[in-house]
Amino acid sequence: MSTHLEVAKQIAKEAGVLLEKRVTSEFHVEHKNNVFDLVTEMDRASEDLIKKQIKHHFPDHQIIGEEGVAEGTDKFEDWFDRIADIPFAWIVDPIDGTTNYVNGLHSYTISIALISFGEIHVGVIYNPSLDEMFWAEKGKGAFLNGNQIQVDPTEKLNESVISTGFPTDIDKARKYVLNGISQLGIVARNIRVFGSAALHCAYVAAGKLNAYWEVGINVWDVAAGVLIVKEASGNVVDTLGNPYQLSTRNLICSNGKIEEELITHLKQANGTGF
């Protein structure tokens, strides 16, 4: 196990301890883009802890965090333009599932990924409420609390439990997701919404879910999860079936068996986001 992975797991655990101590207490909550898009002082405290620890261990590495840079800014777009040339860049979501955290629900995570020359090499997702630590290192498999995990082999959508999220962009992305739910709700065994993209990916990797799709997702939401799913023998594509890239916004991660059927229904429902 590499030093990068060990440090990422350690940092995720430390951030989780910090968050769990405050989850039932009062803290300041703000809106970002709209009333559906929340950020708290604990998002910032968690991100500050993670960045400080990464810099302590790897002072020359770059860091992109959800609360430190916003999509659409010059800094974010410049980073995407240069990612293939950067030796080490960490992608951090200090709380994936802030709304869950604010409401005292257990489905929130810390997500940390390491990118090297445009490829994801390390992914860690920690659910502190249930002490679930998911991790993967490229080419070395995926694990949950030390036990290797694999996607579930179910081959039919009507025998599958799938998942999605409700994007904060209610004018476009959420409408596409609702279109998809309307179509898939009558053909899949069931649909679950846990409120954390990273957790959805992790549960696909662990065989708890058969697929997860969402429109308008950000790289910090899923970078770690993408690697974990792939290392668990799953597959990750955009909602048209093209291979995942770091710039992919409309995403499907699945066991690879129900992917084509899922895409067909999303296309029929105008739910791909394209």
Candidate list 43, 47, 93, 261, residue with the active-site label: 93
Give 34's pLDDT tier (boundaries 50, 70, 90): low
98, 99, 109, 272: which one is catalytic? Answer: 98
Q: Of 43, 67, 221, 238, which is the active-site residue?
A: 221
Going from N- to C-terminal start, the domains of the chain cover: 3-148, 157-268
Helical segments of 31-172, H only? 41-57, 74-82, 98-102
- Cα gap 246→219, rounded to integer Å: 6
Task: Measure the CA dihedral 5/231/89/219, to 10°.
Answer: -130
Does residue 77 have a known ligand-binding role?
no
pLDDT tens digits along 198-239: 999 999 999 999 999 999 999 999 999 999 999 999 999 999
DSSP 8-state class, residue 123: E
pTM for this predicted structure: 0.93
Confidence of residue 102 (pLDDT cuts 50, 70, 90): confident
Do 219 and 91 touch, CB atoms closer than 8 A? yes
Question: Would you tell me which CATH number, out of the four given (3.40.630.30, 3.40.190.80, 3.40.640.10, 3.30.1330.30), belongs to the domain 157-268?
Answer: 3.40.190.80
Residue 66 labelled as part of a binding site:
yes
pLDDT, tens digit (0-9, with 9 covering 90-100), for 145-172: 999 999 999 999 999 999 999 998 989 9
Q: Please, are residues 222 and 201 in contact by the beta-carbon 8 Å criterion?
A: yes
Tell me the pLDDT tens digit for each residue of 59-91: 999 998 766 654 444 566 677 778 889 999 999
CA separation for the pair 72, 247 (Å, rounded): 12
Residue 93 appears among annotated catalytic residues? yes
The domain made up of 3-148 is a member of CATH 3.30.540.10: yes
Is 238 an active-site residue? Answer: no
DSSP assigned state of 242:
P
Please write the tens of the pLDDT for every residue from 85-101.
999 999 999 999 988 88
CB–CB of 132/228 below 8 Å?
no
- Residue 93 is assigned to a ligand binding site: yes
